Structure 1
């Protein structure tokens, strides 16, 4: 195993993957987080000054709101970011945390119990929201300032924080048509390009993906509507393909167009002259990504042509298909 291959494997094991979002999208997300937490503190102070809220508790913002801000403004269409997940995740976890403290105290075992029960409850109630675990933990180990509030803690500051951050999320993400929140709103307002069924070689359905998700048996942070949109865009993109590249050229990159562990990217390192005799018309290629990573092999140009589905180029750490118009 080469050093480059080892580094690649370590990156994959760590979960460090390519991010295809634009710089503007990253900046929009970061600015949204800034606005949300600043807005919660500012609006809560206004309510206190107006006498609507009692400032005696000394709590304005729960720390887990910072984590919620990451999801609401960096992943606004994720399943973990939707309103029921946010509200249910925090409030249900808060109830569990408070109840555990009142019944058993604040030992380290009870802290773990509160978080574990919160995870289970969020799973069964379909409102998984990771910051909810922090809310449950905060109640148990947060000290007397929090524990003395009891169940009132769910109203102030938790519910107040939730109302403010959700209103800000709807308003801020609504400024950008591709980010409208909740995710259903973005899906509902999206213009769909219809492809004639007769033009399609195959048609995947929601049921196909549901069966695949069930077999995967792991929570995936995407809503059914988001998955449908992704599937439709992928199919439209696939339909732009030609069957195989017209030429196999030295120095160019090619993909076999497969999915999962069978996917592979190869680069032609060297090739015989195009008019060579058939048994001498060979190419040397190197696997750059996917199946057979970093191997170097030789084969007939005709064999490579049959393997290659289309030509690709690397853009923002992602392999992108070269369209016919770009060739």
Structure 2
């Protein structure tokens, strides 16, 4: 009970299992560090004091996206450059043309979000930049619209350029995403138009490139086509999943296997330990259980993962 409550609570607050390697984490941190050292140096050439620190902080958020999520929609060159530039411009306009007040910073951020979405360059650090222009002090406000060109757009160009060069050293991190697109494959039963329709129906911003979405489903389909469980694969004490989506998913543990006898089919006694029908037991024909069982699974601290618990003599 306690473990289920903890799992539900973590899911509710957005905690998800980690799928990145230690190498990927290290490269993300290294790339961001190098780019921000350049940004810090360039910004402090023409600015001093708190103004330069505020700008560096906004660019640090951009570096997180570009180097930790190089293939994300929000991380591509146009969102970085357009998002930062549009937000800075709107922030300057707010400081010059609106009466001073505590509401101006909030209005600058809200307006920047709308403009970025219409311009198809949504970039969260852009909201921080709009607020920085309003709250960053006299030096930033006196710079006026020149602040958009330097240091904002120049710093953004540095981050994008550093990302292109750094990520080009690693084939799987090529940036921008257009350089990393794989050859299109075949999607069984789902066409690209189906995904376009589904995204329109969601009416929500999804931080994944369309080509990456197709590739993700292609890989999932390829994985799902691997050979299913056969009767000789079943083991007493083994766990098996039906591989169904959503509420139809379940995991069963095999409690007993009664082999075939002349004139009588084999039987399997099982217990459902997770998902639909959890806690229930049943007896079914061996052939029926095999049709239900898509693949063997095993528990770990993150939930359930697929295994390849199959007789090696049967081949792939």
Q: TM-score range by the shorter chain?
A: 0.7 to 0.9
- Say if 1:90 and 1:180 are closer, same or farther in 2 by CA, change over 3 A: same
The alpha carbon displacement at 1:308 in A equals 2.0
The alpha carbon displacement at 1:311 in A equals 1.4
Distance in structure 2 (CA, Å) of the matches to 1:77 and 1:10: 29
Distance in structure 1 (CA, Å) of the matches to 2:176 and 2:311: 37
SS in 2 for 1:19: coil
Alignment correspondent of 1:253: 239
CA displacement, residues 182-205 of structure 1 (integer Å, 9 cap, x when unaligned):
001111xx3x4866xxxx8x3311
Matched, 1:307 2:306: no
Matched, 1:117 2:108: no
- Say if 1:282 and 1:149 are closer, same or farther in 2 by CA, change over 3 A: same
Residue among 179, 183, 194 paired with 2:177: 183
Distance in structure 1 (CA, Å) of the matches to 2:169 and 2:209: 21
Q: Which has the higher contact order (CA 8 A, sep 6+)?
A: 1
Alignment correspondent of 2:216: 230
Matched, 1:16 2:40: no
SS in 1 for 2:175: coil
Residue among 279, 303, 309 paired with 1:296: 279
Distance in structure 2 (CA, Å) of the matches to 1:73 and 1:11: 26
CA displacement, residues 13-69 of structure 1 (integer Å, 9 cap, x when unaligned):
101010111111111111111111112223556xx4xxxx57699637432111111
SS in 1 for 2:214: helix
SS in 1 for 2:208: coil
- Say if 1:273 and 1:246 are closer, same or farther in 2 by CA, change over 3 A: closer
Distance in structure 2 (CA, Å) of the matches to 1:18 and 1:88: 32
Alignment correspondent of 2:255: 271
Distance in structure 2 (CA, Å) of the matches to 1:81 and 1:97: 21
- Contact 1:80–1:128, Cα closer than 8 Å, also in 2: yes
- Contact 1:64–1:135, Cα closer than 8 Å, also in 2: yes
Q: How many residues align?
A: 306
Alignment correspondent of 1:130: 124
Distance in structure 2 (CA, Å) of the matches to 1:325 and 1:256: 19
Tell me the TM-score normalized by structure 2. Answer: 0.86
- Say if 1:194 and 1:80 are closer, same or farther in 2 by CA, change over 3 A: closer
Distance in structure 2 (CA, Å) of the matches to 1:165 and 1:29: 13
Distance in structure 2 (CA, Å) of the matches to 1:315 and 1:24: 22
Tell me the TM-score normalized by structure 1. Answer: 0.83
Residue among 52, 64, 72 paired with 1:59: 52
Distance in structure 2 (CA, Å) of the matches to 1:71 and 1:78: 8
The alpha carbon displacement at 1:149 in A equals 0.9
- Contact 1:254–1:266, Cα closer than 8 Å, also in 2: yes
Alignment correspondent of 1:34: 33
- Contact 1:106–1:141, Cα closer than 8 Å, also in 2: no
- Contact 1:57–1:149, Cα closer than 8 Å, also in 2: no
Distance in structure 1 (CA, Å) of the matches to 2:301 and 2:20: 9
The alpha carbon displacement at 1:304 in A equals 4.3
More divergent stretch after superposition (173-182 vs 102-111) = 102-111
CA displacement, residues 246-275 of structure 1 (integer Å, 9 cap, x when unaligned):
54433333222223x23535251x512433
